[in-house]
Amino acid sequence: MGDCGLRVAEVLDVCPDHISRRSDGRHYRLEVVGGKDTTGEYLDGKHRETWLPVELERTINRYIQHEDIKRDEPLIDRSKRTLQH
């Protein structure tokens, strides 16, 4: 969460499909699809992109493979309250 600047609710929405390599081929980005919208303009939350450190991408990738998580499944299968504690 801290490495990417994600809020708790945003962490729960992250799926493998939201991770991609940047055009330079060396860095990664994370698409936040249900971000906090303080303006009320977005029905399902604000979309944005954030930096994903290479080391974190590697850790996430190993976790995806180990847990056999599908591309459209959330990485974290917990409630918001559980994650906050």
Q: Please give, one letter per residue, the 3-state secondary structure of 54-68.
A: HHHHHHHHHHHHHHC
- How do residues 11-41 score in pLDDT, each as one tens digit? 888 899 999 998 888 889 998 876 665 666 6
What is the reported pLDDT for 51?
87
Phi and psi, residue 31, nearest 5°: -85, 125
> Which pTM does this prediction carry?
0.74
Nearest to 45 by CA among 18, 70, 83: 18
The domains of the chain are located at 8-76
User: Could you tell me the end-to-end alpha-carbon distance of the chain, in angstroms, rounded to an integer?
Assistant: 14
Say if residue 80's pLDDT is above 60. Answer: no
Q: CB atoms < 10 A from the CB of 13, how many?
A: 19
pLDDT of residue 43: 63
The DSSP element (H or E) to which 31 belongs, if any, is strand 28-35
